[in-house]
Structure formats: C-alpha cells, structure tokens
Chain A
Amino acid sequence: MADLRVKIGSLELKNPVMTASGTFGYGKEFEDFINLEDLGGIIVKGTTLNHREGNAYPRMVETPSGMLNCVGLQNKGVDYFCNHIYPDIKDINTNMIVNVSGSTVEDYVATAERINELDKIPAIELNISCPNVKSGGMAFGVTCEGASEVVKAVRKVYKKTLIVKLSPNVTDIASIAKAVEASGADSVSLINTLMGMVIDIEKRIPMLSINTGGLSGPAIRPVAVRMVWQVAKAVKIPVVGLGGIVNAHDAIEFFMAGASAIEIGTANFIDPAVSIKVKNGINDWLDAHGCKSLLEIVGSLKDY
C-alpha cells in the first residue's frame, strides 16, 4: 500500500483523486455507486453569485472519444448553495471544494467571500475558464492581465486554499499560470474544456444552442498532458491535472508530467464508480513499481 497523500497548498488530500466540477453534481448523485469519502476531494458544480438558468437545450453532443457541452453554469446561486446544499454535504468526510465562477470581478469576490465563511469548505477552485458564458468566465482566463486582476481581488477576501482553473483556449498557458501564481493562487488546475463545434449538415445548423461548446473526454487528454507538463515547469505552486482521464494509466501520465493531483470529469458519466477504480489503480501501479509514495513519480518525467 503506497502512500497516496498529497498537499495542495495547505490542503491535505488523502489521495490525489478528485472529481471535476460539473461532472459530479454535489457528490450525493453518486453516493449509491461509491463511498464518497474514499475520494481525495469533490469539486462541486460551478457556483455563481446569482441564480443562473444556463443555456437553452440542446446542450450536449457526443463526439469521437468525448463530448461537447454548453450547459452555461446552471446553478441556483451562492445563497442557495450556502443555505440548502452546504448543510447536506458538509459532513462528507473528504475535501468538499466549491468551483466559483462569475461575470465580473465583483461577482467572483462576493461569491468567494460567502464560501470563505463555510467551515467545511477548505478550498475553492476559481473558474476563469468556462467557455459557455457570454461575459466573464473564460474572458478572464485568456489574458495574463484579466487572470491577475480576478485572482488578486479574490485572494484579498479568500483565506483558504485557492486553486485557479485555467483555460486551454490560449496561446501560452504557462504565462497565464505564472500570472496567476504571482497574484497569490495556491495552485492551478488544468485544463478546462477546449472550445469546439459540431454541425448538423442536413439542417445546416450547429448541434448546440449557443453554436459552440466545450470539448471534454479522452479526445483532449494529450492536449491536457502537454499543458500540465508546460505549466508544471513554469510554476512552483502545485498543479492539478485533468482532461480525459478514464483510468490509472492516464492519471499516472499526468503525475509524471508534473501534476500533484488529478480530477476525473467526463468519465464519471460512463462509469459512475470510475474515480475509485482510478484511485485503486494508482496504488496498484505504485506498488508494482516499488514506489512507496506517489510523490516519487510527480514530475518524474525525463524529456525524450
């Protein structure tokens, strides 16, 4: 049994496997399938200051080895989260992390401030990379200035572990990561979805209601591994890797590329118990390779 514990800033994870925001609800949706407390963390659905209905249907289309979505941050707002959802999930004995999104810097700050008051939420994942909302979201994550501005403002009010989720829809993700690090982030997670499009050629219209959507699933994994590798070399803060992980082999690629922890996203839709299988598989691989601790393989990649 290898030591799977890792730290993300001051956040202690019993193992490096978390579930990605928007793919795991608030955790409870999956409690029939796994023991939620066996996870290193659960990152709950993107939460905004005010209620959002999200985008119109259709919001999803299947693609080769993945899917495109344009849900658009449907959620009932931070007050509803604090009053109705938090009481229900606060006693799950793992790291319950809230993904925070917004349209303006003020929105992000106000939402983070509210979450900061919740004892059992040890961290937030600041989403500056949602491609499916008109204002804010990814707009902050595609420039160093925008990313810095929102991270600095949130850092002032948010006292616990601050993870910033980066967009892959940029020219140079390492420079954004550095800007985020310099602005006070404790960690970066990457990648969010890649912007994509699918067309119904008979109707000559896009398959999604806002024309484009975010691509996820194994289709994006090599892009994610490459970006984690670039970012891990560029920053000193811990990197959380995600993008198309479906098994332990995939996860180990991310660790070797420099990720200290990983998130499982779209794979939860195909196998709701996959996260625990990945966790167990990581342990088995480490045991089989004589590694006493996960830390032995983080960033262990030798360039070709």
Chain B
Amino acid sequence: MKKYILDLRVVENSSPHPRYALLKLTHDSKLPEMLPGQFAEIRIDGSKNTFLRRPISINYVDYERNEVWFLIAKVGEGTKTLAKVQSGEIVNVILPLGNGFTLPLSPKQKILLVGGGVGIAPLLYFGKCIKEIGAEPTFLLGAKSASDLLELDQFHELGSVYTTTEDGSMGEKGFVTQHSILNQIRFDRISACGPKPMMISVARYAKAEGIECEVSLENKMACGVGACLCCVENTTEGHKCVCKDGPVFNINDLLWQI
C-alpha cells in the first residue's frame, strides 16, 4: 500500500479520561485507504525533548466524514504534547504503516477481539471492518478500572462487548483470560492488542485451545518503514521489523515462551 506524509487538521480533541486524548483528524483531500491494525507515525511539534515521531495505531476511520481517529495514551512528554493539540491545528502523519489484522475469511467465522488498556484502540476500526463484511465481532476488553474502558458506546454499536476490570468496577473482576465468555463460545480466531503480559496470556490460552491467534506488538520504533531495523522482534525467521513485517504477528511465528 502506498504510504503518505500528510498534514492533517484537528477536527476535535476530546479527553474521554484524564490519561487519554481522542484526536479526530481530517484532510482537505480524500484520506487514503487504511487497513485495521495499521498505524501512523505522528510528528510531535513543540516538545523540546521529543526527537522521533510516535507510532500510534489507527483507532477508527470514518470515510464519510473523511476522519481518522487516534486514541493517545499520555505516557511521556511526546504523547502528552500531542494530546494538547487544538481544533484547527495541523498534525503531520505518515500513514498507513504496517500489515494489519487478519479479516475473517467468511461471515460465519467467529472472531474474538481482545484489548487491554489503550490496546483497545485498533480494535474499534477492526470491528467496523469485520461488521462491513457481514460478520459480527465479539469484543473482550480489559482494564484496571471502569473509567479506563474507553469508547464502549462505539464498541457496542459494532458487536457484542464483554469486559473485565482488575478492581471489579465493571464486567467480570480479573483479567481478560479469566472471562466466562471463553468457556461459552468457541472462537475461530483471536486478535489481541494490549500490554505484553496480557498478550502472552491470551496467546497461551489460544495455543492450549488450538485457536488461531494474532497479536499486535509495540516495540520501540524509529523510522516506521523498515529502514532502521530498530524495532525488531525475534521470530521463527529471525529478526523481523514490527513496523513493516508487523505490528500484527501470528503467535506461531513468535518465539514467546507460551
């Protein structure tokens, strides 16, 4: 897919939570096609200690409104600066980057989308794409507490939503891999994005159950286009770039201890 460097304009910057910002960006011309699970490298302007772009997954694409959404977790100075952009300001992005999630082969396939923390971000657009081909996505979303579970209304519009929280303030108490839905429905594939310990336990569950499973990684990255070879992950075929060969990998190709 052709990659673009675009000056996008901020339509809206909302704060669904003190630690997150949801940026809705648009462009004067039609936005390029993007696949679910792909990401953008976003330039951070006005932060003197930030040198590199920040890789941020594509949260949602609304082609009718010509908008692309990014859910930003305010982690360090770079993302905190990005989270302050105002409506009308310009954000420079390179997109679409990376491979993306595997879409269902038929509408009958039952796909479970597992997200943890800000890792829920790419699952919203993935869920939309699954729904568009006539399948119904099932979301299993985990977080520390109810207030950390973002964009739930949008997830509900796309499919069935199950949640876990560590403090029990919403859904079932515990971790995503402990949710009772896993005992009730036999899924054909699991796609997961979230903290590495969560993805490892999802991968372990999927492997034990013989379910196809893919995970989206977020290794530290510089170029985003497969040139610098900084963001590598160990795979059965040696070091692979998370930015170009990923971010989505089948768990059978990774050398995780699962």
Of the candidates B43, B52, B225, B230, the one whose C-beta lies within 8 Å of that of A59 is B230
Q: Is the CB of B5 within 8 A of A60?
A: no
Residue of chain A at shortest CB distance from B76: A62
Interface flag for A184 (CB, 8 Å): no
Of the candidates A23, A57, A62, A74, the one whose C-beta lies within 8 Å of that of B219 is A57
- Give the shortest distance, in Å, between B95 (CB) and chain A (any CB): 11
Contact with B along A18-30 (1 / 0, CB 8 A): 0000111100011
What are the residues of chain B within 8 A of A25 when measuring CB–CB?
Answer: 225-227
Q: Is the CB of A270 within 8 A of B53?
A: yes
Q: Is the CB of A54 within 8 A of B232?
A: yes
Given contacts A62-B50, A272-B94, contact A53 B239 (CB under 8 A): yes
Contact with A along B83-112 (1 / 0, CB 8 A): 000000000001000000000000000000
Given contacts A30-B227, A64-B51, A268-B227, contact A57 B222 (CB under 8 A): no
Residue of chain B at shortest CB distance from A65: B51
What are the residues of chain B within 8 A of A23 when measuring CB–CB?
Answer: 223, 227-228
Q: Is the CB of A59 within 8 A of B232?
A: yes
Query: Whole-angstrom distance between the alpha carbons of A272 and B94 in the complex?
Result: 9
Q: Is the CB of B228 within 8 A of A71?
A: yes
Q: Is the CB of A272 within 8 A of B51?
A: no
- Give the shortest distance, in Å, between A72 (CB) and chain B (any CB): 9
Query: Whole-angstrom distance between the alpha carbons of A69 and B228 in the complex?
Result: 9
Query: Whole-angstrom distance between the alpha carbons of A45 and B43 in the complex?
Result: 25
Q: Is the CB of A71 within 8 A of B229?
A: yes
Given contacts A54-B239, A57-B233, contact A269 B223 (CB under 8 A): yes
Interface flag for B17 (CB, 8 Å): no
- Give the shortest distance, in Å, between A292 (CB) and chain B (any CB): 33
Q: Is the CB of B51 within 8 A of A74?
A: no
Q: Which of A30, A60, A71, A272 has the most CB of B within 10 A?
A: A60
The size of the chain A interface, using a CB distance under 8 A, is: 34
Q: Is the CB of A67 within 8 A of B232?
A: no
Of the candidates B4, B51, B227, the one whose C-beta lies within 8 Å of that of A32 is B4
Q: Is the CB of B230 within 8 A of A60?
A: yes
Interface flag for B3 (CB, 8 Å): yes
Given contacts A23-B227, A269-B222, contact A74 B52 (CB under 8 A): no
What are the residues of chain A within 8 A of B65 when measuring CB–CB?
Answer: none
Interface flag for B220 (CB, 8 Å): yes
- Give the shortest distance, in Å, between A16 (CB) and chain B (any CB): 21
Interface flag for A58 (CB, 8 Å): yes
What are the residues of chain B within 8 A of A273 when measuring CB–CB?
Answer: 5
Interface flag for B231 (CB, 8 Å): yes
What are the residues of chain A within 8 A of B233 when measuring CB–CB?
Answer: 57
Query: Whole-angstrom distance between the alpha carbons of A36 and B251 in the complex?
Result: 36
Q: Is the CB of A69 within 8 A of B230?
A: yes
Q: Is the CB of B227 within 8 A of A60?
A: no
Which residues of chain A from 69 to 83 have any CB-CB distance to chain B below 8 Å in the complex? 69, 71, 74
Q: Is the CB of A67 within 8 A of B51?
A: yes
- Give the shortest distance, in Å, between A144 (CB) and chain B (any CB): 31
Q: Is the CB of B5 within 8 A of A74?
A: no
Q: Is the CB of B227 within 8 A of A69?
A: no
What are the residues of chain A within 8 A of B244 when measuring CB–CB?
Answer: 29
Q: Is the CB of B52 within 8 A of A62?
A: yes
What are the residues of chain B within 8 A of A299 when measuring CB–CB?
Answer: none
Q: Which of B219, B226, B232 has the most CB of A within 10 A?
A: B232
Interface flag for B49 (CB, 8 Å): yes
Of the candidates B5, B51, B228, B234, the one whose C-beta lies within 8 Å of that of A62 is B51
Interface flag for B238 (CB, 8 Å): yes
Of the candidates B225, B226, B232, the one whose C-beta lies within 8 Å of that of A57 is B232
Q: Is the CB of A29 within 8 A of B51?
A: no
Query: Whole-angstrom distance between the alpha carbons of A110 and B142 in the complex?
Result: 55
Q: Is the CB of B223 within 8 A of A33?
A: no
Query: Whole-angstrom distance between the alpha carbons of A273 and B43 in the complex?
Result: 13
Query: Whole-angstrom distance between the alpha carbons of A74 and B226 in the complex?
Result: 12
Contact with B along A67-110 (1 / 0, CB 8 A): 10101001000000000000000000000000000000000000
Of the candidates A61, A65, A272, the one whose C-beta lies within 8 Å of that of B225 is A272
Residue of chain A at shortest CB distance from B230: A60
Query: Whole-angstrom distance between the alpha carbons of A64 and B231 in the complex?
Result: 20
Interface flag for A300 (CB, 8 Å): no
Q: Is the CB of A53 within 8 A of B238?
A: yes
**Could you tell me which A residues sit within 8 Å of B by CB distance?**
22-25, 29-30, 32-33, 45, 53-54, 56-67, 69, 71, 74, 217, 266, 268-273
Given A53-B238, A74-B232; 13 other pairs, CB 8 A cutoff: A22-B229, A29-B244, A53-B239, A56-B234, A57-B233, A60-B220, A64-B51, A69-B222, A71-B228, A74-B239, A269-B224, A269-B227, A271-B43
Return 11 A-B CB contacts under 8 Å, by A number: A22-B229, A25-B227, A30-B227, A54-B239, A57-B232, A57-B234, A60-B220, A64-B51, A69-B230, A74-B229, A272-B225
